[in-house]
Amino acid sequence: MKSGGGKTFFFLFSSTPPYFCQAMSFDPATLTRIANLARIDIPAAQLSGLGDNMASILSLIDQLQAVDTRGVMPLSHPLSVIGEMPLRLRADVVTTPDLREACLANAPQTEHGLFLVPKVIE
Amino acid sequence: MSAPNHPSGPDGSIAGLSRQLTSGQTTARALAEQSLARIGRQQALNAFLHVDAGLTLAEADAADRRLAAGERGPLLGIPVAHKDIFVTRGWRTTAGSNMLADYVSPFDATVVEKLRAAGMVCVGKLNCDEFAMGSSNENSAFGAVKNPWDPQRIPGGSSGGSAAAVAAGIVPASTGTDTGGSLRQPAAMCGITAIKPTYGRVSRYGMVAFASSLDQGGPMARTAEDCAYLLDAMAGFDERDATSLDSPEAKASILGGFQAQNASKHPQNKVFENLRIGLPKEFFADGLAPDVAARVQAAIAMFRAHGATVIDISLPRTTLAIPAYYVIAPAEASSNLSRFDGVRYGHRTDDYRDLNDMIAKSRAEGLGAEVQRRILTGAYVLSHGYYDAYYLQAQRVRRLIAQDFQDALKQCDLIMGPVAPTTAWKLGEKSNDPVAMYLEDIFTLGVSLAGLPGMSVPCGFDQQNLPIGLQIIGNYFDEPRMLSVAHQYQQLTDWHLRSPAGA
């Protein structure tokens, strides 16, 4: 990611000193790599506009870098801020009803009770 | 003050309709037909995505049979409509997305099941931002919902259809979901009452997943009392949701707590005595619309005049909730939405070379621009080399934000402030600027990150006659007190009774 010139964003409600963020560019190679990870086909004509959007989103989330979080544990379950939130286990038994036909009915393509996909092994 | 243990609500509220049903003045079928007729008259709002009179009237007749058999309950025979994020057998569930345009779920969401068991009659599925991602309802693949107070304006989002349907008088109640403000903000912008419960109170089973550590379902209605009936029926432990809470606090009756709070004795004109309200100074900073600030301050003055103590507090990381949320929610979304691959359900492209190409093109065609942006943001912050700097850092900031709320709630019982910095903006005004839209969520995101319950209660109108919402934030499991305080406020005010022209 490299820094681009031009646009400057000022964020509402920022405490002093105000957050001024340089708009970064989100270069086409990075965008293409991420789009591939996310399995979304982005037409070439949309790469530039989407790159601008992504750059402004990154400018926003980059505010996190300025926060001193040394010694702070990441919080993944919100209520664990007040106590342990152990994962609940259940008995290893079948509890879901047989919804085979209803599930297959939503699939784009099925045959003999199976989901059909393009051939992956020659 | 009205008798606390009896339905005291106004005509058109759940409590009012329930009174008419049990006295035989009306039937579930008549109420359902009335809602269906109003859906027809108010089609320009674009609030509903699927209506099926046959299914609705069959449910209404079942409710009438239960009433005739002598069964009683505050929700029995009352019409409701579900946000199209809750899966339903019989009705399509689209999540506002072309990806799921024809999807019919093989099962009902727990919330849908519970409200039907309580006797509510489903009159349809409600429009929303695609996969609940948005603050304006403009991200629906099926067109924006219009605000009943001004059809040139957004209803808020993502539960925009849910809020508009209640505000327009089509249904007395609806369901919604809140990941970063999606119950509270549209409730504020449409002038109705809504509550996002403590994370884990309401089962997420059958709620199309957006960000699983944040998503919570909740009710929308005209009054706080109606929200108490609805939340009482929706909440409860559910084995099928791994994050459903089964602690004693989570299992305590919401309605029982609400009624006990209402019954507590106070000197006349001092109904809020012993209530300590914290006002975070960051919620009243520059950038808050003057009309919103004035109406919220007027509401606070009313609490104070009736005995409450008002305390200045600080939530110093209010601004940081925006970047923390817009890392964590997209990260979880990118993982949750990987299931849409055009194989087992959802849209599949017509033209592809191989499996990978099929998946990538199906997702490009089936998912809208904002959903794609969030998936890409999520994939980026979780990718090698960025995970620590963005995702883990955001989760550390999340802990600091949650801790700030705990520190503040040591000094006060409830926190109050605005729901949103402005009233409803014009359709199209921010739709091409994702970050401008994200900044509007500033007062709701922290509550979501902390998993706390939050409410929106109508507290006035701006100079353009657009509704303003007061946000009430409580500690974990304090919904009964929040609902009771809002209910007492609604006994003293009539903002929640105002209806837009044509409703």
Q: Which residues in chain B (302-361) have CB-CB distances under 8 A to chain A?
A: 316, 318-320, 322-324, 326-327, 334, 338, 341-348, 352, 354-361
Task: Write down the pLDDT at residue B451.
Answer: 98
Question: Which DSSP symbol is given to A74?
Answer: P
> Over the stretch B185-219, which tens digit does the pLDDT of each residue have?
999 999 999 999 999 999 999 999 999 999 999 99
Nearest 5°: phi and psi at B246?
-125, 25
State both tokens at B68.
């005739």
Per-residue pLDDT of chain B (503 residues; tens, 9 = 90+): 333 334 467 778 999 999 999 999 999 999 999 999 999 999 999 999 999 999 999 999 999 999 999 999 999 999 999 999 999 999 999 999 999 999 999 999 999 999 999 999 999 999 999 999 999 999 999 999 999 999 999 999 999 999 999 999 999 999 999 999 999 999 999 999 999 999 999 999 999 999 999 999 999 999 999 999 999 999 999 999 999 999 999 989 999 999 999 998 888 789 999 999 999 999 999 889 999 999 999 999 999 999 999 999 999 999 999 999 999 999 999 999 999 999 999 999 999 999 999 999 999 999 999 999 999 999 999 998 899 999 999 999 999 999 999 999 999 999 999 999 999 999 999 988 899 899 999 999 999 999 999 999 999 999 999 999 999 999 999 999 999 999 999 999 999 999 999 87
- Those of residues 374-393 in B touching chain A at CB distance below 8 A are 375-381, 383, 389-390, 392-393
Q: Which residues of A touch B438 (CB under 8 A)?
A: 57, 60
Sign for the CA dihedral angle at B353, B357, B361, B366 comes to positive
How does pLDDT run across B309-333, given as a tens digit for each residue? 999 999 999 999 999 999 999 999 9
- In degrees, rounded to 5, the angle at the alpha carbon of residue B209 between the alpha carbons of residues B207 and B215 is 80
A17 pLDDT higher than 70: no
Contact flag A106-B344 (C-beta cutoff 8 Å): yes
Which residues, including other chains, have CB under 8 Å from residue B486's CB and lie 6 or more apart? B193, B224, B227, B455, B457, B472
Chain A interface, best mutation among B388, B396, B438, B447, by max A CB count within 10 A: B396
Amino acid at B104: V
Q: Is B394 on the interface with A (CB under 8 A)?
A: yes
Task: Give tens-digit pLDDT for A56-74.
Answer: 999 999 999 999 999 999 9
Query: pLDDT value at position A24?
Result: 55
Q: Does B213 touch chain A (CB under 8 A)?
A: yes
Q: Catalytic annotation on B83?
A: yes
Alpha carbon distance A77, B212 (integer Å): 10
- This prediction has a pTM of 0.94
Instruction: Output the pLDDT for position A96.
Output: 83
- Tell me the CA distances in angstroms from B43 to A86, B7, B82, B281, B503, one per residue in order: 47, 31, 17, 42, 12
